[in-house]
């Protein structure tokens, strides 16, 4: 999977926006203003950071060794860095959904209600 395919998938999710809040090369995806994915566009090989349940994060790092590592410049407990070119696209999409769902689950009732009204 390349970064443009990843970008299109993220933007297809309800309530998602993209921005560059840190600098001109770190693309951040947010759902209702809350970050769930980011990618340093200058990083080679292409990679993305995704939020992950802490126990699952450890399991994934053990199973996929060098292709899923503790989040680069992020909380090592709650974020993983995925090497896009080395992982099955189905797994990347599953973990993107997991990250999105984790962020949505922590939203206030007001934000969840607003998200539910979006098309």
What's the whole-number mean pLDDT along residues 2-9? 95
What's the whole-number mean pLDDT along residues 78-89? 94
Residues 43-73: pLDDT tens digits?
Answer: 888 999 999 999 999 999 999 989 999 987 8
pLDDT tier at 6, thresholds 50, 70, 90: very high
Residues 27-49: pLDDT tens digits?
Answer: 999 999 999 999 999 888 899 99
Residue 119 has pLDDT above 80, yes or no: no
Confidence (pLDDT) at 84: 93
Q: Under a CB-based contact definition with an 8 Å cutoff, are residues 8 and 94 in contact?
A: no
Q: Under a CB-based contact definition with an 8 Å cutoff, are residues 9 and 93 in contact?
A: yes
Look at the domain 3-108 and name its fold. 3.90.1150
Q: Under a CB-based contact definition with an 8 Å cutoff, are residues 102 and 53 in contact?
A: yes
Domain boundaries, the chain: 3-108
Confidence (pLDDT) at 71: 87
Confidence (pLDDT) at 43: 86
35: left (phi over 0), alpha (psi -120 to 50) or beta: beta
């Amino acid at each position: 999977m390349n970064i443009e395919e990843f970008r299109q998938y993220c933007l297809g999710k309800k309530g998602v926006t993209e921005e560059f809040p840190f600098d001109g090369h770190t693309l951040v995806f947010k759902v209702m203003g809350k970050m769930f994915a980011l990618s340093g566009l200058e990083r080679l090989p292409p990679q993305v950071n995704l939020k992950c349940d802490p126990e699952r994060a450890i399991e994934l790092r053990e199973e996929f060794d060098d292709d899923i590592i503790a989040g680069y410049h992020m909380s090592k407990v709650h974020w993983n860095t995925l090497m896009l070119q080395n992982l099955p696209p189905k797994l990347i999409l599953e973990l993107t959904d997991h990250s999105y769902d984790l962020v949505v689950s922590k939203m206030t009732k007001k934000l969840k209600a607003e998200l539910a009204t979006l098309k």
